[in-house]
């Protein structure tokens, strides 16, 4: 069993490898689902200073405990579900719930309401079915603001939504007219 500190550190390293820089670690992501063989990831990690003792059980612990369910193991393969910055992984188009949420810093809302939600340094815009994941993502960017996305209106404007698993949805872009600032009191009415 990993300590929480080691688990977080391993999760960050796996994120770097599987989402942002697989080639530097001698890995190539499957272009369809972004996966690599778990054994190859394990060998890549063990070649790094300080990670020689990482085990398959450690990888499973990180996957199971990830707060935003960033990773998935299927059979003998592992992948980051979303968040890729260097390679575009393909996803199945799907029908999302009526409203999806995008967590961000409050300073970004003016731009979003003017220009829409763009992927920035990622391959897709990240949206979530619930407020929990949106909050986790947005808290990293300063004072939290949550943008609500009207998915029917967005689909009417040509937006295609892709399901990445575990409440996470992706899109290439969300037009400004489909976005509003989420206000909890407005939802109660």
Averaged pLDDT in 10-residue chunks for the chain of 189 residues: 90 93 93 91 94 94 85 93 76 94 92 94 89 82 89 98 90 97 66
Segment (H or E) for 162: strand 162-165
Residue with token string 């960017």: 141
Please report how many Cα atoms fall inside a 13 Å half-sphere around the Cα of residue 49, on the Cβ side. Answer: 0
Angle subtended by helix axes 38-46 and 4-15, to nearest 10: 110
The tokens for 159 are 């937006």
Strand partners, 22: none
Whole-angstrom distance, CA of residue 125 vs CA of residue 149? 12
In degrees and rounded to multiples of 5, residue 178 shows phi and psi of -100, 0
> Is the distance from CB of 117 to CB of 174 less than 8 angstroms?
yes
Query: What pLDDT is recorded for position 36?
Result: 95
- CB atoms < 10 A from the CB of 19, how many? 24
Query: What pLDDT is recorded for position 81?
Result: 84
Q: List domains and CATH numbers for the chain.
A: 4-80 (1.10.10.970), 99-188 (3.20.170.30)
Q: Kindly state the DSSP code that residue 189 receives in the 8-state scheme.
A: -
- Where b means 16+ CB within 10 Å and e means fewer, 94-130 reads eebeeebbbbbeeebbeebeeebbeeeebbbbbbbbe
Segment (H or E) for 114: helix 109-115
Q: Whole-prediction pTM value? A: 0.69
Q: What does the H/E/C string look like for 4-43?
A: HHHHHHHHHHHHHHHHHCHHHHCCCCCCCCCEEEHHHHHH
Query: What pLDDT is recorded for position 185?
Result: 62
């Amino acid at each position: 069993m990993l300590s929480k500190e080691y688990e977080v550190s391993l999760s960050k390293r796996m994120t770097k490898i599987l989402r942002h820089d697989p080639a530097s670690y001698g890995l190539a992501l499957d272009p369809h689902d972004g996966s690599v063989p778990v054994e190859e990831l394990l060998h890549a990690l063990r070649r790094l200073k300080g990670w020689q003792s990482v085990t398959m059980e450690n990888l499973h612990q990180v996957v199971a405990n990830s707060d935003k369910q960033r990773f998935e193991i299927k059979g003998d393969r592992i992948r980051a579900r979303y968040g890729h910055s260097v390679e575009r992984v393909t996803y199945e188009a799907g029908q999302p719930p009526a409203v999806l949420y995008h967590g961000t810093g409050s300073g970004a809302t003016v731009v979003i309401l003017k220009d829409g939600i763009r992927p920035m340094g990622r391959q897709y815009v990240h949206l979530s079915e619930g407020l929990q994941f949106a909050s986790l993502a947005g808290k990293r960017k300063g004072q939290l603001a949550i943008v609500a996305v009207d998915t029917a209106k967005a689909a009417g404007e040509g937006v295609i939504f892709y399901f990445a698993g575990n409440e996470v949805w992706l899109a290439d872009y969300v037009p400004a007219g489909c976005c509003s600032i989420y206000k909890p009191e407005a939802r109660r009415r």
